[in-house]
Amino acid sequence: MKIRTWGYSIKQGMINIKRNKLFSLASIATIAICIFLIGLFYSVFVNINHMVEEAEQQISVTVFFKPGITDEEIANLKDQISKRAEVKEVTYTSAEEAWEEFKAVYFGDHMDLAEGFKDDNPLANSASFEITLNDISMQDVLVNYLNSLKDQGIRQVNASENTASTIDTFGKLVAYVSVALIVVLLAVAVFLISNTIAMGITVRREEIGIMKLMGASDLFVRAPFMVEGLIIGLIGAVIPMIVLLVLYNRVVLYIITHFQQVSSFTIFLPVKDVFNILGPLALVIGAGIGLIGSMITIRKHLNV
Partner 1 sequence: MIDLENVSKTYSAGAPAVNDINLHIDAGEFVFIVGNSGAGKSTLIKLMLKELEPTAGRIVINGKDLKTIKHRKIHLLRRDIGVVFQDFRLLKDRNVYDNVAFAQRVVEVPNRIIRRKVPAVLSMVGLAEKYKSFPKELSGGEQQRVALARALVNNPPILLADEPTGNLDPKNSWEIMNLLEEINNRGTTVIVVTHNKEIVDAMQKRVVTIQKGMVISDEKAGGYLYED
Q: Quick one: which segment of 169-177, 208-216, 231-239, 284-292 binds partner 1 (CB under 8 A)?
A: 208-216
Quick one: which of 12, 5, 13, 7 has its CA closest to 294? 13
Length of the chain: 304
Contact between 163 and 59 under an 8 Å Cβ cutoff? The reply is yes
Task: Answer yes or no whether residue 210 interacts with partner 1 by CB under 8 A.
Answer: yes
Task: Answer yes or no whether residue 8 interacts with partner 1 by CB under 8 A.
Answer: yes
Quick one: which of 133, 144, 151, 137 has its CA closest to 77? 151
Task: Answer yes or no whether residue 217 interacts with partner 1 by CB under 8 A.
Answer: yes
Candidate residues 116, 215, 242, 250; the one interacting with partner 1 per rule CB under 8 A: 215
In angstroms, the Cα distances linking 46 to 31, 36, 51 are: 22, 15, 8
Find all residues with CB under 8 Å of 295, minimum gap 6, and list them: 226, 229
Contact between 133 and 86 under an 8 Å Cβ cutoff? The reply is yes
C-beta closer to partner 1: residue 89 or 207 = 207
C-beta closer to partner 1: residue 31 or 204 = 204
C-beta closer to partner 1: residue 5 or 165 = 5
Candidate residues 119, 213, 242, 258; the one interacting with partner 1 per rule CB under 8 A: 213
Neighbours of 140 (CB within 10 A): 12
Give the 3-state secondary structure of residue 87: strand
Task: Answer yes or no whether residue 225 interacts with partner 1 by CB under 8 A.
Answer: no
Candidate residues 216, 238, 256, 281; the one interacting with partner 1 per rule CB under 8 A: 216
Contact between 10 and 176 under an 8 Å Cβ cutoff? The reply is no
Nearest distance from C-beta of residue 215 to partner 1, angstroms: 3
C-beta closer to partner 1: residue 4 or 118 = 4
Candidate residues 99, 220, 225, 268; the one interacting with partner 1 per rule CB under 8 A: 220
**Interface ranges with partner 1 (CB under 8 A):** 1-2, 4-5, 8, 206-207, 209-218, 220
